[in-house]
Amino acid sequence: MDTLDYIVLGIAAVFQGPELFSLFGLPVSVTLVMIVFGFLSGIVVGATPGLAGPVAMAIALPILISTFGYTPDALLPVMGFLIGVMKGATVGGAVPAILFNTPGTPDAFMTTLDGYPMTRKGQARKALRVAHFSSVSGDTFSDVVLIVCAPFLALLVEGYLDLPEKTALLILSLSFIAAVIGGSPAKGLISVGLGLLAVFIGTGEDFYPRLSFGTEELSRGFPIATAILGILIVSAVFKELEELWREKRASGVIAPVAETGDQRLRFADIRALFPYIARSSVIGTAIGALPGIGSTLAATLGYTVGRSRYEKTKTDGDTEFGKGAPEGVAATEAANSSVSGANLIPVLSLGIPGNAAAVFLILAAESIGGFNPGPSVFRFTSDTVNPELVIAFGLFTSMFIANALNWTVGGLFMRSMGVMIRVPKQILLPIVLLLTLTAIYVQETRMVAIWFTLGFGVVGYFMRSVGISPLPFVIAFILGGKLEETARQAFAATGGDPFFLFNHPIALVFMVLSAAVIVFTTRKSREPG
């Protein structure tokens, strides 16, 4: 059997699978219905402040498995629903970031930098349209690359990046984000240091939990949801409430935001945004193909590269990046959305996830059975059918169906969400805070998690007040555990060599770049403007 035969079998597995009902005499497969339901659930969850796609996937996975069972026929319906959630949440996640300055995920924080200023200027609907078009464009490009490159790209990356190189790459990621996003290299390093300090509390491979001060609550470490949602959302709510209080004290009234200017996305706008979308799509796809990196770094790189180009090409009167430039929204959304498809390259070829959403796809495959992500998935056989390859092409088909829903239903949804800006913020912000704390309690079911979240919210509030970006904190918290694990493994694999980061050429290059980016940005920030 050749590639075309497997493509046909994969498409047939989605459209001609177990029938759920018939519509006008045409059978509708259960997989198709699950993709649609997953997409609708994802776009609602993504648009809800305090929630995100992985939260919905974590809640849905055990329910789906108990409903469909453990037979191979359950694989595509379950994974189709999860893919639908992943795709829908990717687009919907821009809504709270743009309208309310409350990103539900770390990569959506970059969207707030220009999306929320556009909302403050009365261009909320246009910002949503830019985010939708950029997000779906990057996602579609990533899916095409996934299908073409999945058997080759991940194996190539894995062949050159061993444990020392992966450790050095994580260090480079942290130093780059600290230098570029932190406001200044010093503030960025402070933010990264605080994030690493928080993630190392109560964790590690020692007999006794680190930095727990003998308390049971700290000995279990901080749940990742409490740190991320506390630093990103709760702190933003506190800061917005403070600004509302100052506005009410100064003028005696809180003025609503009025829409101004053309809210439509015209062809001239698309032509101006296209270079930023294309560049960020390539960046996000490349980052997504790297095992264990994720979409936050892609969003950061896409935004930074887009800002560099914008500063070279902008004319007098153009809006600065960070003050409401549509190009900033486009660069960020295209980058973080193009990760979702490319993330399945290491998942399917190596069984290594690059983000939280990919983790649940692997858990579904392992729980149900009949599909083992790894090199054997792309084994083309001429005499017999490789069922894992058929499932892989079924997953590709599911992703394109979800993309089609994103282009159509997602566009209608994003255009309609602009009405939410009319809700008074003094009413909306407490609701956002309540939803966030509810989402935390649903995941952790212990009261101490609420206190952790509020504590991180206070820390994030003070960081914002002194001009320290919370994003390096969040990325350090996410990557800190992975960094320690990879470093321990590299140390053991090299026979206890303390200089393993400098004895491997690629790792040495990454370490030199880590130092160079800090030094270069420090010198640049000291130059008189």
- Cβ proximity of 114 and 324 under 8 Å: yes
Indicate the SS3 state at residue 396: helix
**pLDDT, position 426:** 75
Q: What single letter denotes the amino acid at residue 78? A: V
Which DSSP symbol is given to 410? I
Prediction pTM value: 0.70
Angle of helix 75-92 relative to helix 387-405, nearest 10 degrees, comes to 30
d(CA 49, CA 364): 26
Nearest 5°: the CA angle 474, 357, 157 is 85
**pLDDT, position 529:** 47
**pLDDT, position 183:** 62
Domain ranges in the chain are: 3-252+264-526
Residue stretches of the chain with pLDDT short of 70? 1-3, 23-25, 49-52, 54-55, 58-59, 104-107, 150-160, 180-183, 203-208, 251-263, 290-295, 346, 349-360, 363, 366, 374-376, 378-383, 417-423, 425, 443, 524-529
pLDDT in tens, 132-151: 899 889 888 888 887 777 66
- Cβ proximity of 222 and 199 under 8 Å: yes
d(CA 66, CA 272): 49
Indicate the SS3 state at residue 195: helix
Q: What single letter denotes the amino acid at residue 66? A: S
Give the H or E element holding residue 7: helix 3-15
CB atoms within 10 A of CB 526: 9
CB atoms within 10 A of CB 10: 20
Nearest 5°: the CA angle 503, 508, 513 is 170
Nearest Cα neighbor of 437 from 420, 427, 458, 452 is 452
**pLDDT, position 459:** 92
